[in-house]
Amino acid sequence: MLEVANLTKRFGGLVAVDGVNLSLPEGGISALIGPNGAGKTTLFALITGFHRPDGGSVRFLGRDLTGEKPFRIARAGMVRTFQIVQPFAGQTVRENIAVGAHMHLADRAEALAKAEDVARAVGLSDRLDRDAADLTVAGRKRLEVARALATDPKLLLLDEVMAGLNPSEIRDVIPVIRAIRDRGVTILLIEHVMQAVMELSDQAWVLNQGRLIAAGAPRALASDPAVIEAYLGHGMAERLAKGAAHA
Amino acid sequence: MRTLALLVAIFAALAVLPIGLRSDFWLNAVMLALFSALIGQSWNIAGGYAGQFSFGHALFFGLGGYAVAVLQVHLGINPWLGMAVGGALGAGAGAALGWLTFRYGLRGSYFALVTLAFAEVFRILANSVPFTGAGEGILIPLDPHPAMLQFRALSGYYWLLLGLTFACFLTVWWLERSRLGAQMQAVRDNEDAAAAVGVDAFTVKLKAMALSGLFMGLAGVFYTQRYLYLDPGLAFGPAQSVEALLVAIVGGIGTLFGPLLGAFALHLLAEAAQGVLGDVPGANMVIYGTVLVAMVLFLPRGLTSLRQGGRRRRRRRTKDA
């Protein structure tokens, strides 16, 4: 569905994304993990057109979308959310979601009705007429998802929708994401909350210092020495293994 | 629908005003306020709904005014046709200015400065080319027939202005329940987030500028026909730009009734001040400045936000949408 080939982005001397190749099949949930500053959000921004890549290509459903404008990529069916939530403050939750619904619906009443449906799907029905600026962090994260979902995306890119949530809020969000997948939307998520990655995703990629260092089933990745070193530092995999042997 | 009913009721009441009102003085006072409401609402489309703060709306105003004057005086073209040209020129200039500035990603104060600069450039141009009458201005020959867009009685101008203002307010009423309006407000509140859900921010802003320029151009046409005279300072000077944004900000930007409320409030204040201060030159500007500072400090969402507080008002609006 999504084919990323040799994608590269430099900021001055820093190579934020370094020759990333990945191929995302249709259906299911995949995850992109990695330590802070690994380039995950930059990779999302490159795929969705918010940054222009310095090299490589992005193909979606057979179309070359490299360097296209964000709104065109969204209209092609690939929609992202933002890690730092970006509500239309001063507008209600219903109005916020309706902006997404308007991508395919010209009629205001239809878009508002659709916003209501989507709000139900993500659990925001009781807050439809609230000002988006008044929502809690958990509410705003759901709003991000709702607005993207209202565009009827084929591929949904979720950037840390669980960051900043408490464990019970995370437990509440997991079934919402599953339900979106069950509607037939393919999902790629960036996530630091490992519990969520393990529970949700069918496969995962690990990004470190702009490079993909591992790929596979999330459980297997958790014991991959390269992944452990990326998170905990050089030599840690060996020491952990020794520690386990001693015990 | 309730909003539309209220809008129609207000304009219907204003429409019968000249029949009851014998004094031209008061009719003229209402006209001045209505005129402010028209330019305020024009500005509000781009500034309030799409978030593009222009300091140079006089550009569209002046183009509309000069269009009707120049076509009439030099080419003998009927001013009704001139009005269409003036409106189209305002809209075209809005789109062109938008295209130039948004293409280079100018936002906020940079956008405001460029609009101001363009209005000034046109003021200087109008001062230097012969067909605008340069510094002397351009005088339209008196010919008080409705066919020539001139009226013997003040009420004729009044109804013309009322019609234009109603058209402008109706457009904004429509915007509030249309996809374009929703996209304009989304772009205003967060351009990246809007783009992420497929909103073509560039085109949306262009449309907002064109609509805004259209009504500002028509206001220029009206002004020129009303006074049968235009010079570069009146046309492109900062006075109209400032009045347009002041009225919208005082009334409540991004609201349908804001500019109407702001216009009448400001003119009432100006009249009252003149009663107290007499004809001290520049006194109204001092008052406008004070009001603007006070509004931004204490009531940043304008007079309309006084009614039940801004949030509940919004909630109501979505319900009857």
DSSP string computed for A123-149 = T-GGGTTSBGGGS-HHHHHHHHHHHHH
CB nearest B197 (choices: A90, A134, A147) = A147
Measure Cα distances from A136 to A131, A148, B307, B315 in Å: 11, 18, 26, 19
3-state secondary structure of A12: coil
CB contact under 8 Å between B197 and A86, yes or no, is: no
Position A245 scores a pLDDT of 72
- Residue A199 confidence class, pLDDT cut points 50, 70, 90: confident
A224 has a pLDDT exceeding 90 = no
From its phi and psi, is residue A66 left (phi > 0), alpha (psi between -120 and 50) or beta? beta
Task: Pick the more confident residue, B296 or B45.
Answer: B45
Position B309 scores a pLDDT of 52
The two structure tokens encoding residue B260 = 């109407």
Residues in chain A: 247
pLDDT single digits (tens) A83-140: 888 899 889 999 999 999 999 999 999 999 999 999 999 999 999 999 999 999 999 9
Which chain A residues are closer than 8 Å to B198 by Cβ?
71, 74-75, 79, 100, 103, 151
Average pLDDT of the segment spanning B118-137: 91
Position A247 scores a pLDDT of 61
The answer to whether B82 and B72 are in contact (CB under 8 A) is yes
User: Rounded mean pLDDT of chain B?
Assistant: 90
- Residue B276 confidence class, pLDDT cut points 50, 70, 90: confident
Provide the shortest C-alpha distance from residue A49 to chain B (in Å). 9
The answer to whether A224 and A214 are in contact (CB under 8 A) is yes
The answer to whether B220 and B90 are in contact (CB under 8 A) is yes
Tell me the whole-structure pTM to 2 decimals: 0.89
Closest residue by Cα to residue A157 from A93, A65, A92: A65
pLDDT single digits (tens) B145-192: 898 999 999 999 999 999 999 999 999 999 999 999 999 999 999 999
E-assigned strands of B179-302?
A: 229-230
Sheet containing A2-11: order of strands: A14-24, A2-11, A55-60, A63-64
Query: How many CA atoms lie less than 13 Å away from B122 in the CB half-sphere?
Result: 24
B315 has a pLDDT exceeding 50 = no
Complex confidence, ipTM: 0.88
Least confident of A32-41, A229-238, B222-231: A229-238
pLDDT single digits (tens) B25-80: 889 999 999 999 999 999 999 999 999 999 999 999 999 999 999 999 999 999 99
Query: How many CA atoms lie less than 13 Å away from B294 in the CB half-sphere?
Result: 10
Number of A:B CB contacts under 8 A? 98
User: Rounded mean pLDDT of chain A?
Assistant: 90
Measure Cα distances from A138 to A79, A150, A192 in Å: 20, 18, 16
The answer to whether A207 and A184 are in contact (CB under 8 A) is no
Strand partners, A216: A204
Position B321 scores a pLDDT of 38
Residue by residue, what is the 3-state secondary structure of B156-173? HHHHHHHHHHHHHHHHHH
pLDDT single digits (tens) A157-189: 999 998 888 889 998 999 999 999 999 999 999
Fill in the amino acid letter for A204: A
B197, B205, B253, B304: best to mutate for the A interface, most A CBs within 10 A? B197
The answer to whether B189 and B197 are in contact (CB under 8 A) is no
Which chain A residues are closer than 8 Å to B196 by Cβ?
48, 50, 70, 74, 79-82, 86, 148
Provide the shortest C-alpha distance from residue A84 to chain B (in Å). 11
Closest residue by Cα to residue B301 from B261, B244, B269, B270: B261
Cα–Cα distance for residue pair B309/B301, rounded to 1 Å:
10
User: Chain centroid to CA B2: how far?
Assistant: 25
Provide the shortest C-alpha distance from residue B118 to chain A (in Å). 29
pLDDT single digits (tens) A23-57: 999 999 999 988 888 889 999 999 999 999 999 99
The phi, psi pair for B143, rounded to 5°, reads -160, 75
